[in-house]
C-alpha cells in the first residue's frame, strides 16, 4: 500500500521546479501545473481525450495547510496557462483571518470573469485549511450524516461494443453505471451493456440530441432498459425543448451544462427535474453548498458530479454527498496518477473520511 504523508505541512508535491510560491499577507499560496493520465481514452459526444490538465494548490495560514485543485476539461475553456495567470493575480494581504470565508471568496470571484476552476482551487484549499483549523471534516461542520451518502456511479465512455463490455466488467464493484451517449451509437452502447449486466443505468447525453421528438422516443426506449435519469439530453440553449421533454419524459432530466452557478438554479426550475452540481463549474464548495440548498427548497433533484480530478477535488465535493439524490464522483477512479487519498468507494457507496478538512492525505509516491 502506498504510504501517506502528514497533511499539515507542504511536502514533495509542492517542492518541484514548476511550483510557484507566493507570500500574500499572512497566507502563503503555492501552485503548480499537473497532468492527469486517463486509464482509458475518454470519449463523449463532444470529443475524446486521454489526459486532463489540472493545477494543484496549497494555501497556508499560521502553519496549517489546505489543499485545492483546478481541473480543466476542454469545454470549460480554462488551461494551465489561464489558471496560473489567474492565481498570479490573487492578493490576500487584506485578509488577516481565514474564517472570513465570504469576504475572501467574494474577492476571489471578482478578480476576473469566469475562471471557475481556478476559483475552485482556492475555495477548496481554504475550506480544507479551515476544517483542519477546526479539526473537523466539512460534512460534520455542515451537520450532514455520513451514513446517508449515496452510491456513486461509474462512467462508461463512448466506445466499441467490445470495449464497453470490458469497461463494465472493470466496474463490477459499482451499483450504478453512468453511460455517455449523444452519437449514433447510443442504442449499441446500451445493448452492449445489457448483454453483461442488469444494473441500473443513468445516461449523460452531453447535449448530443437535437430534436425533442427523437429525445422523447429515446427516453422511453431507455426507461424500458433500466435507465433512471437523463443528464443534459439536448443543447442548453433549447430551453423550450428541454422543458417539453421534462414534462413528457418517463424518467427525470438533469441539467448539467445548463447549470453552472447559483443563478442558474432558479432558471433551471421547470426546465429540468434536477441539477448537476460540479465544483469546477460553480467556483467550489461555498457556492455548491448554496446551490444544493436552493435546489432542495425548489423541490428539485440534486446530483453531485465531477470532472476528471484527483481525490482532492473529489473528496471536497463528497462532503455534500449525504444530502444528494445521486453522486457521480468517479473522476479519480478514471485516472492512473492520483496524488491524494481521500473519499473511498466501498461496494459502490461513497464513504467519507473522518479526517479534518476535506479528508485527504498526500501519497508518498508523488
pLDDT digits (tens, 9 = 90+) for 89-101: 999 999 999 999 9
Q: What does the pLDDT look like over 303-342, one tens digit per residue?
A: 999 999 999 999 999 999 999 999 999 989 889 999 999 9
> What are the domain boundaries of the chain?
4-138, 140-363
Check pLDDT > 60 for residue 1.
no
Contact 35, 54 (CB under 8 A): yes
pLDDT higher than threshold 50 for residue 72 = yes
Q: Is the pLDDT of residue 3 over 50?
A: no
Q: pTM (2 decimals)?
A: 0.93
pLDDT, one tens digit per residue, over 108-162 is 999 999 999 999 999 999 999 999 999 999 999 999 999 999 999 998 989 999 9
The pLDDT of residue 86 = 98
Of all residues in the chain, what percent carry a pLDDT higher than 90?
88
Structure confidence at residue 40 (pLDDT): 75
Rounded CA gap, 350 and 332, in Å? 13
248, 273 Cβ separation under 8 angstroms: no
| Contacts of residue 172, Cβ cutoff 8 Å, sequence gap at least 6 | none
Q: Under a CB-based contact definition with an 8 Å cutoff, are residues 150 and 166 in contact?
A: no
Is the model more confident about 125 or about 75? Answer: 125
Work out the average pLDDT over 190-198.
97
- Confidence category of residue 275, pLDDT binned at 50, 70, 90: very high
Residue 366 confidence (pLDDT) = 53
CATH class of the domain whose range is 4-138: alpha beta
In whole angstroms, give the CA distance from residue 218 to residue 230: 10
What confidence score (pLDDT) does residue 50 get? Answer: 85
Q: Which of 185, 233, 178 is nearest to 203 (CA)?
A: 178
Residue 22 has pLDDT above 60, yes or no: yes
Model confidence at 42, pLDDT cuts 50, 70, 90, reads low
Fold of 140-363: TIM Barrel (3.20.20)
Looking at residue 28, what is its pLDDT?
Answer: 97
* pLDDT grade for 74, boundaries at 50, 70 and 90: confident
What dihedral do alpha carbons 49, 282, 312, 206 form, nearest 10°? -30
Amino acid at each position: 500500500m502506498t504510504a501517506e504523508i502528514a497533511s499539515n505541512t507542504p511536502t514533495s508535491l509542492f517542492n518541484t521546479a514548476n511550483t510557484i510560491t507566493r507570500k500574500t499577507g499572512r497566507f502563503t499560496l503555492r501552485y503548480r501545473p499537473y497532468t492527469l493520465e486517463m486509464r482509458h481514452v475518454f470519449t463523449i459526444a463532444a470529443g475524446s481525450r486521454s489526459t486532463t490538465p489540472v493545477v494543484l494548490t496549497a494555501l497556508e495560514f499560521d502553519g496549517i495547510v489546505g489543499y485545492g485543485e483546478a481541473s480543466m476539461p476542454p469545454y470549460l475553456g480554462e488551461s494551465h496557462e489561464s489558471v496560473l495567470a489567474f492565481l498570479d493575480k490573487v492578493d490576500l494581504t487584506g485578509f488577516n483571518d481565514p474564517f472570513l470565508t465570504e469576504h475572501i471568496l467574494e474577492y476571489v470571484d471578482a478578480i476576473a470573469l469566469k475562471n471557475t476552476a481556478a476559483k475552485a482551487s482556492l475555495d477548496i484549499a481554504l475550506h480544507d485549511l479551515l476544517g483542519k483549523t477546526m479539526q473537523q471534516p466539512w460534512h460534520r461542520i455542515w451537520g450532514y450524516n455520513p451514513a446517508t451518502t449515496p452510491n456513486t456511479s461509474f462512467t462508461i465512455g463512448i466506445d466499441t461494443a467490445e470495449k464497453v463490455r470490458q469497461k463494465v466488467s472493470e466496474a463490477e464493484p459499482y451499483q450504478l453505471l453512468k453511460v455517455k451517449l449523444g452519437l449514433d451509437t447510443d442504442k449499441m452502447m446500451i445493448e452492449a451493456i445489457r448483454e453483461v449486466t442488469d444494473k441500473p443505468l443513468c445516461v449523460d447525453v452531453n447535449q448530443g440530441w437535437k430534436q425533442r421528438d427523437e429525445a422523447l422516443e429515446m427516453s422511453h426506449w431507455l426507461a424500458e432498459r433500466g435507465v433512471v435519469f437523463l443528464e443534459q439530453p439536448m443543447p442548453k440553449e433549447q430551453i423550450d425543448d428541454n422543458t417539453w421533454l421534462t414534462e413528457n419524459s418517463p424518467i427525470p432530466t438533469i441539467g448539467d451544462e445548463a447549470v453552472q452557478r447559483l443563478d442558474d438554479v432558479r432558471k433551471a426550475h421547470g426546465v429540468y427535474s434536477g441539477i448537476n452540481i460540479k465544483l469546477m463549474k460553480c467556483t467550489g464548495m461555498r457556492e455548491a453548498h448554496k446551490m444544493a440548498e436552493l435546489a432542495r427548497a425548489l423541490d428539485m433533484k440534486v446530483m453531485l458530479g465531477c470532472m476528471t480530478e484527483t481525490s482532492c477535488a473529489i473528496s471536497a465535493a463528497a462532503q455534500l454527498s449525504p444530502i444528494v439524490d445521486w453522486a457521480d464522483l468517479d473522476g479519480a477512479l478514471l485516472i492512473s496518477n492520483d496524488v491524494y487519498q481521500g473519499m473511498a468507494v466501498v461496494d459502490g457507496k461513497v464513504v467519507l473520511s473522518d479526517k479534518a478538512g476535506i479528508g485527504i492525505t498526500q501519497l508518498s509516491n508523488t
